[in-house]
Amino acid sequence: MVNRSAEFASLLCSRLCHDLLSPVGALNNGIELLADETDPEMRERCMELLAESARTSANKLKFFRLAFGAAGGFGEQVDSREALTALEGLHGPAGKVKLGWMVEAATLPKAALKVLLNLALIAGDALVRGGQLDIGAEGGEIVIRAEGPRLILDAEIRNALLGESDPDMISPRAAAAWLVHLLLDEHGGTVQVSQPEEGVLMIGANLPL
């Protein structure tokens, strides 16, 4: 009998490792270059690249801790500013994705926060060439709007969000979408996903509180 929990945990770990591979690899390469470099200007540049890679790695870990892990510890409510800080760190102040934050509540239920972050992750990934990512939440309603010059939402991710995927066929790239489906299913929630037409993608989730 397949252990679904262990299998799904491995999918989330694979997704996290995939996203961390690039900045951590850059750290390793930078350290190797620094060890061989003697020119002061080049060493300074190496240090800048190392700092940037370290910052990127830390920001990704903070985001995934909230989106995949035990967000906010054991409490049922999580400070919504933590979600905003995690998203800002993920995309960076000069990133290709610009954030619009429309969440007025000071705190969010843990399940709602996870759904919000994972939907924002999915929509942000769909903005292949960057664009605007607007995030709103009120009560149990969560709305994500992505707009950009090129939007791609993989069919596997869409099907996982809607619960139309075979659990045995879920890949790491759809782990966030499947997590949203599981959370909504557990709490009696629903999700709607538009087709990414004319450079706009809308995702709405209803999570009874």
- pLDDT tens column, 27-62: 888 888 888 878 888 888 888 888 888 888 899 999
pLDDT-based confidence at residue 72 (cuts at 50, 70, 90): low
Domain boundaries of the chain, sorted by first residue: 4-206
The pLDDT score that the predictor gives to residue 185 is 93
- Residues pairing with 163 in the sheet: none
Quote the tokens at residue 188.
Answer: 């009696």
Average pLDDT, rounded, for the chain: 88
Q: Which fold has domain 4-206?
A: Heat Shock Protein 90 (3.30.565)
What is d(CA 24, CA 22) in angstroms, rounded to the nearest whole number?
6
pLDDT band at 2 (very low <50, low <70, confident <90, very high): very low
Q: Is 99 helix (H, G, I), strand (E, B) or coil?
A: strand
Report residue 49: phi and psi, to 5°.
-65, -40
Looking at residues 78-99, what average pLDDT do you find?
89
Name every residue whose Cβ is closer than 8 Å to that of residue 102 and which is 6 or more positions away in sequence.
134, 135, 136, 137
